């Protein structure tokens, strides 16, 4: 039996991790779908959610297989993180293949002159009138890190909620809700597009973390009462 | 359950996911949903009315979450009434695709009507011609996702119920198709009037291709084109996600104490994708070369 204060704090930490994670994921929104900006061609919220939920499926399976004991917690969180990373990495890999062979553009960042990881020149490969296209290595690595944190955060929320209700379905649906709340907060903070940890917009992160802390804390308070089997206070 | 049987089920799930991904992307190309639709929406304002279907119901992920979970609820109810699983899944997918069809008509009428001032006509034959293509591809995608959810919950004992799994996989397939296959539609097919590989200058936004080899281009022509690359690539992404994620925990089953090995295997695949991405990036840089000359080097 885990005490309610720890559960609330755990859910809050998981939510904040999700919000933190979304800032790492390179999303270009609608312009990226037309190869007009660097990043993945969809919205921040939906991409982070898609990846996080794949992690949630992996974490749910692992928790069911190894049990909900504290000793197995790290394994459940790691499994969630790997599920999320696999989804996002396959998506970025095939999206890059489409940018290269389907559209004929080079993955290039418009926010930095040199890729911080490979040291490759970027600005010469940005086509005219665009803000970059595709996912160069730095964006790919940043996205992988984002999926890692998002997967851990979502799984942590699920693990904590499971200890409130012992009901996988209810814990899962509430974890999805908390995931969406934090993805939307991050999405508003980013305001459209972000390339990853090397993007100047990444510096806005502290504001989102504070907002997420407040919002998730309230969600956690409600969760303790609303989730069936809850009201452990 | 015997590991060989489990591996067979995981293989079926991977195959179903591949078909689901491809069908989902082609449905979104016929209906012109998600991000590339911003150009279809913009075109009449730039003085270019067209015969492309226009249905941004919502983002693709929540839309597919809705169709799949609606179908899954019907399937669960029928399974509870002892209907055979295949029949329950088929009827569930049918209900999901009917919902998709209903939602497809209203945004086309609403969006086209709102562009009257830009002289965009409402073509009733466009609705008649495209609706069954949209519903048919949607049916295949929902059917396959319901199969995945059924196998996971009933046969592989996943703790999430079928509607929740269908919601999650619906959101995931929408996110994947929106990120991969839609790029082929939005960046290439809509702008084939510009040189391949030149990139899309922001100033050219809204200047979509409106004429086909014969007559005016319709969204079915777009599905024909995207079925050659964007659709299968989307299927490959979703298939890999579902297959690899389940394959690692089936091969190294956590109940046998191999959970950490399954995690390590997953991390190994992640590292492999980073390396593969680097190879693709290097290939593109070497093949296409820089767009601009380095001014500092040119001066020297």
Give the model confidence (pLDDT) of A57-69 as tens digits: 999 999 999 988 8
**Share of residues in chain B with pLDDT > 70 (%):** 98
- How far is B53 from A41, CA to CA, in rounded Å? 20
Using alpha carbons only, what angle is made at residue A35 by residues A31 and A37, rounded to the nearest 5 degrees? 55
Backbone angles phi, psi at A40, to 5 degrees: -85, 140
Determine the pLDDT at residue A37: 92
- Band the pLDDT of B197: cuts 50, 70, 90: confident
Structure confidence at residue B257 (pLDDT): 87
Helices (H) and strands (E) in chain A, counts: 7, 2
Q: Is residue A230 part of a domain?
A: no
Would the pLDDT of A94 be above 80? Answer: yes
What is the chain A residue with the closest CA to B225?
Answer: A102
Q: Which residue has the higher pLDDT, A136 or A224?
A: A136
> 3-class DSSP state for residue B242?
helix
**Residue in this structure with the two tokens 């809050």, named with its chain if needed:** A12
Mutate one of B64, B232, B263 to test the A interface: name it (highest A CB count within 10 A). Answer: B263
Distance CA A72, CA A76 (A): 6
Chain A closest-CA separation from residue B135 CA (Å): 23
**Residue contact A144–B159, C-beta within 8 A:** no
Determine the angle formed by the axes of helices B124-150 and B60-80, rounding to 10 degrees. Answer: 60
To the nearest whole angstrom, how far is the Cα of B210 from the nearest Cα of chain A? 17
In this prediction, residues B34-40 reach a mean pLDDT of 89
From A176, which residue of chain B is nearest by alpha-carbon distance?
Answer: B168
DSSP codes of every residue in B58-124: S-HHHHHHHHHHHHHHHHHHHHHTT--HHHHHHHHHHHHHHHHHHHHHHHHHHHHHHTGGGT----H
Structural domain including A81 reads: 2-224
CA distance A190 to A205: 8
A100 and B283: CB-CB below 8 Å?
yes
Rounded CA gap, A128 and A126, in Å? 7
CB atoms near residue A131 (< 10 Å): 19
Binned at pLDDT 50, 70 and 90, residue A232 comes out as very low
Per-residue pLDDT tens for B123-153?
Answer: 999 999 999 999 999 999 999 999 999 999 9
Name which of B65, B157, B199 to mutate to probe chain A: the one with the most chain A Cβ atoms within 10 A of its Cβ: B199
Rounded average pLDDT over B181-203 = 89
Quickly tell me which residue has 């209900």 as its tokens: B95
**What is the model's pTM?**
0.95
Q: pLDDT band for position A230 (50/70/90)?
A: low
pLDDT at A228: 63
In this prediction, residue A233 has a pLDDT band, given cuts at 50, 70 and 90, of: very low
User: What is the structure's pLDDT at B233?
Assistant: 96
Contacts of A73 (CB under 8 A, 6+ apart): A159
Give the pair of three-digit tokens for residue B52: 């492309």
pLDDT for position A86: 95
Residue A139 lies in a domain: yes
Looking at the domain assignment, is residue A229 inside a domain? no
Q: Answer whether residue A43 shows pLDDT above 90.
A: no
Residue A232 falls within a domain, yes or no? no
Mutant choice from B59, B173, B183 vs A, greatest count of A C-beta within 10 A: B183
- Calculate mean pLDDT across residues A196-220: 93
pLDDT in tens, A124-166: 999 988 899 999 999 999 999 999 999 999 999 999 999 988 8
pLDDT at A116 over 80: yes
**Between A and B, how many CB-CB pairs are < 8 A?**
292
A205 to chain B, minimum CA–CA distance in Å?
24
CB contact under 8 A, B240 and A90: yes
Q: Is residue A233 part of a domain?
A: no
- Contact status, residue B213 vs residue A26, Cβ threshold 8 Å: no
- Which residues are paired to A131 by β-bridges? A37
Residues of B in contact with A124 (CB under 8 A): 290-294
Phi-psi region of A207 (alpha: psi -120 to 50; beta: other; left: phi over 0): alpha
CB contact under 8 A, A106 and B285: yes
Q: For A203-229, what is the mean pLDDT?
A: 88
Q: How far is B58 from chain A (nearest CA, A)?
A: 11
Number of structural domains, chain A?
1
Contact B233 A97 (CB under 8 A): yes
For residues A59 and A162, the answer to whether their CB atoms sit within 8 Å is no
Instruction: Give B125-132's long-range contacts (Cβ < 8 A, gap of 24+).
Output: B126/B51, B126/B53, B126/B218, B126/B219, B129/B218, B129/B220, B130/B30, B130/B31, B130/B53, B130/B218, B130/B219, B130/B220, B131/B101, B131/B104, B131/B105
User: In the Cβ-directed half-sphere of A5, how many Cα atoms lie within 13 Å?
Assistant: 0
Contact A41 B35 (CB under 8 A): yes
What is the helix (H) or strand (E) element at residue B143, kind and residue range?
Answer: helix B124-150
Of the ranges A63-77, A215-229, B221-235, which one carries the lowest mean pLDDT score? A215-229
CB contact under 8 A, A128 and B274: no
**What does each C-alpha distance from B292 to A69, A111, A125, B71 come to in angstroms?**
58, 17, 7, 51
Q: What angle do CA A180, A183, A185 make, to 5 degrees?
A: 110
Residue B296 scores a pLDDT above 70: no
Residue A83 structure tokens:
């599920």
- Residue A215: pLDDT above 70? yes
ipTM attached to this prediction:
0.94
Q: Is residue A132 part of a domain?
A: yes
Q: Is the model's pLDDT at B117 over the cut of 70? A: yes
Two tokens at B235? 């299927």
Helix (H, G, I), strand (E, B) or coil at B216: strand
Cβ distance A87 to B176 less than 8 Å, yes or no, reads yes
Q: Which of B191, B237, B254 sits opposite A90 (nearest CB)?
A: B237
């Amino acid at each position: 039996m885990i005490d309610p204060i720890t559960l609330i704090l755990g859910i809050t930490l998981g939510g904040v991790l999700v919000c933190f994670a979304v800032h790492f994921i390179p999303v270009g929104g609608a312009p990226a779908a037309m190869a007009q900006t660097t990043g993945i061609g969809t919205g921040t919220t939906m991409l982070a959610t898609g990846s996080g939920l794949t992690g949630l499926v992996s974490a749910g399976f692992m928790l069911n297989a190894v049990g909900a004991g504290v000793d197995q917690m790290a394994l459940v969180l790691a499994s969630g993180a790997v599920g999320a990373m696999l989804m996002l990495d396959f998506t970025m890999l095939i999206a890059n293949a489409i940018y290269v062979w389907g559209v004929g553009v080079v993955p290039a960042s418009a926010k930095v002159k040199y890729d911080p990881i490979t040291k490759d020149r970027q600005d010469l490969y940005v086509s005219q009138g665009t803000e970059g296209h595709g996912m160069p290595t730095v964006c790919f690595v940043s996205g992988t890190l984002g999926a890692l944190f998002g997967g851990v955060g979502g799984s942590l929320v699920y693990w904590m909620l499971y200890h409130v209700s012992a009901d996988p379905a209810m814990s899962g649906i509430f974890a999805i809700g908390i995931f969406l709340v934090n993805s939307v907060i991050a999405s508003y903070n980013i305001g459209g597009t972000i390339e990853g940890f090397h993007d100047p917009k990444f510096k806005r992160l502290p504001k989102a973390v504070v907002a997420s802390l407040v919002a998730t804390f309230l969600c956690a308070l409600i969760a303790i009462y609303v989730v069936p089997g809850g009201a452990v206070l | 359950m015997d590991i060989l049987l489990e591996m067979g089920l995981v293989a079926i799930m991977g195959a179903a996911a591949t078909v689901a991904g491809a069908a989902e992307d082609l449905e979104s190309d016929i209906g012109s949903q998600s991000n590339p639709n911003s150009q279809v929406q913009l075109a009449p304002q730039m003085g270019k009315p067209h015969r492309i279907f226009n249905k941004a119901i919502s983002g693709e992920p929540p839309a597919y979450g809705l169709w799949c979970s609606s179908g899954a609820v019907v399937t669960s109810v029928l399974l509870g009434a002892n209907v055979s699983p295949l029949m329950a899944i088929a009827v569930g997918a049918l209900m999901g695709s009917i919902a998709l069809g209903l939602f497809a008509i209203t945004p086309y009428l609403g969006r086209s009507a709102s562009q009257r001032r830009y002289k965009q006509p409402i073509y009733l034959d466009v609705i008649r011609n495209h609706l069954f293509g949209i519903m048919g591809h949607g049916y295949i995608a929902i059917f396959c996702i319901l199969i995945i959810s059924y196998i996971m919950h009933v046969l592989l004992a996943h703790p999430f119920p079928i509607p929740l799994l269908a919601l999650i996989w619906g959101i995931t397939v929408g996110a994947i198709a929106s990120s991969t296959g839609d790029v082929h539609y939005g960046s290439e097919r809509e702008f084939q009037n510009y040189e391949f590989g030149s990139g899309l200058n922001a100033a050219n936004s809204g200047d979509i291709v409106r004429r086909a080899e014969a007559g005016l281009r319709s969204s079915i022509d777009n599905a024909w084109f995207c079925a050659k690359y964007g659709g299968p690539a989307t299927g490959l992404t979703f298939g890999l996600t579902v297959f690899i994620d389940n394959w690692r925990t089936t091969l190294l089953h956590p109940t046998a104490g191999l959970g950490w090995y399954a995690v390590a295997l997953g991390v190994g695949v992640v590292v492999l994708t980073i390396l593969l991405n680097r190879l693709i990036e290097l290939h593109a840089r070497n093949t296409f070369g820089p767009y601009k000359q380095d001014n500092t080097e040119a001066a020297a």
